[in-house]
C-alpha cells in the first residue's frame, strides 16, 4: 500500500499513482478513503487521497492552499480544509 503515492479520481475513474506508474482502478474515492482510514493516507482535496509518507516537503501557495512535493517529484495541491488531517498524521 505504501507504494501508492496518491489516489485520484478523474471523470469518475480512479487512478493509483506510484513512483513511475499509474494504474486505473474501479475503486471510488470514498471506498479508498474507507480502506485507508487510520493510515498515513489522508484526503488532500475533492478528488485526491494522498500518502503522507511520500511527501518530501510542503509549501504554502499564493492561492491560500498548500503544495505537497512528493518523493517522485510530483506536486499535489492540499486544500486548506484538509491541512488539519495532514497535521494530525504528522503528530502536530
Partner 1 sequence: MDMHEIIRKILQQFPVIYLGAMICTMIYCAIFDSDSVFTISYFAWMMLFSLLGAIPSLVFYTKKELSESKMRIRLVIHFVIIEVELLIMGYWLKLYHTFVQGCFFFLLICGVYAFVWVSVFYFDTKAASAMNQRIRERKKESKQQ
Rule CB under 8 A: which residues touch partner 1?
A: 45-48, 52-53, 55-66, 77, 79-81, 83, 86-87, 90-92
Separation of alpha carbons 83 and 39, rounded Å: 16
The phi and psi torsions of 68 (rounded to 5 degrees) equal -95, 120
Instruction: Report the nearest approach of partner 1 to the CB of residue 86 (Å).
Output: 7
Find the radius of gyration of the CA atoms of the chain: 12
- Which CB sits closer to partner 1, 2 or 25? 2
Q: What minimum distance in Å lies between the beta carbon of 28 and partner 1?
A: 16
Backbone angles phi, psi at 76, to 5 degrees: -125, 135
Closest approach of partner 1 to the CB of residue 53, in Å: 7
CB closer to partner 1, 36 vs 40: 40
Comparison of 13 and 80: residue with beta carbon closer to partner 1: 80
Q: Which of 82, 89, 39 is nearest to 64 (CA)?
A: 82
Amino acid at each position: 500500500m505504501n507504494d501508492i503515492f496518491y489516489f485520484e479520481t478523474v471523470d469518475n475513474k480512479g487512478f493509483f499513482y506510484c513512483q513511475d506508474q499509474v494504474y486505473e482502478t474501479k475503486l471510488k474515492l470514498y471506498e479508498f478513503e474507507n480502506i485507508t482510514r487510520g493510515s498515513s493516507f489522508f484526503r488532500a482535496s475533492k478528488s485526491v487521497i494522498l500518502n503522507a509518507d511520500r511527501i518530501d516537503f510542503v509549501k504554502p501557495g499564493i492561492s491560500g492552499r498548500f503544495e505537497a512535493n512528493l518523493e517522485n517529484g510530483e506536486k499535489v495541491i492540499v486544500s486548506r480544509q484538509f491541512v488539519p488531517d495532514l497535521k494530525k498524521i504528522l503528530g502536530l
